[in-house]
Amino acid sequence: MAYDRYVAICHPLHYNVIMNLRLCGLLVLISWMTGALYSLIHSLMVLRLSFCTALEIPQFFCELNRVLQLACSDTFLNDMVMYLSVVLLGGGPFAGILYSYSKIVSSVCGISSAQGKYKAFSTCASHLSVVSLFFCANLGVYLSSAATHNSQWNAAASVMYSVVTPMLNPFIYSLKNKDIKGALKRFYGVVAIKRPIVLGVVKCL
């Protein structure tokens, strides 16, 4: 989304050429393959660990750092791979987002009208808010696992990046679209028209 906003604001005339269907499909494929490879690596590395019996994970799902904390064997290699993947998979996209928005800010500052600046920044505000929420909660969970064992705080942070952020995506990326808004208005208009009207009947005695 950061690259999409960068192309839309910095290269608006070439947007349809750059953000073609092939590039969008490639970006989605890379994201899926990266997520699958990340899960596969950690799943295979967890298989080499030994665990004691009758353990309960203080989390609403089997998060990696909580599973490693319950292992009875040495988890140094697993911890190093986990932190390295957090740096690569978190730091790489974060650097790309910072670069994209630095270019966006420099382009927007060159716009003369205040209305144009507001419109350009408003298209990026929703994406920045979701990215900030995701990265802060995610990094808070993984980087604080070695320093604190507060299960309630970790569970709340995990809910923020695994449940709340995906739930916000339809509202942020779809409901701002004019076509989606028009379809919703037409849908609710039809529902209101088709709803039966009940008239009250007063009996006179």
What's the pLDDT tens digit per position in 128-181? 777 887 777 777 666 665 555 566 666 777 777 777 777 777 766 665 566 666
Q: 201 by DSSP, 3-state: which? A: coil
Please determine, for residue 119, whether its predicted confidence score (pLDDT) is greater than 60. Answer: yes
Higher pLDDT, 38 or 158: 38
Higher pLDDT, 197 or 189: 189
> 124-150 as b/e, with b when 16 or more CB fall inside 10 Å?
bebbeebbeebbebbbbbbeebeeeee
- Please give the Cα distance from 5 to 19 (Å, whole number): 10
Please determine, for residue 200, whether its predicted confidence score (pLDDT) is greater than 50. Answer: no
Return the pLDDT at 31. 87
Please determine, for residue 52, whether its predicted confidence score (pLDDT) is greater than 90. Answer: no
Return the pLDDT at 26. 92
Q: Phi and psi dihedrals of 51, rounded to 5?
A: -125, 145
Please determine, for residue 125, whether its predicted confidence score (pLDDT) is greater than 60. Answer: yes
Q: How many residues does the chain have?
A: 205
Q: 147 by DSSP, 3-state: which? A: coil
Higher pLDDT, 37 or 142: 37
**Burial category of 162 from C-beta neighbours within 10 Å (exposed 0-12, middle 13-18, buried 19 and up):** middle
pTM of full prediction above 0.85: no
Return the pLDDT at 75. 87
Return the pLDDT at 22. 92
Higher pLDDT, 199 or 115: 115
- Please give the Cα distance from 32 to 152 (Å, whole number): 30
Q: Which whole number is the average pLDDT over 78-85? A: 87
Please determine, for residue 194, whether its predicted confidence score (pLDDT) is greater than 60. Answer: no
What tokens were used for 20? Answer: 């073609």
- Which residues are CB-contacts of 68 (< 8 A; sequence separation ≥ 6)? 46, 49, 75, 78, 79, 82
Please determine, for residue 50, whether its predicted confidence score (pLDDT) is greater than 80. Answer: yes
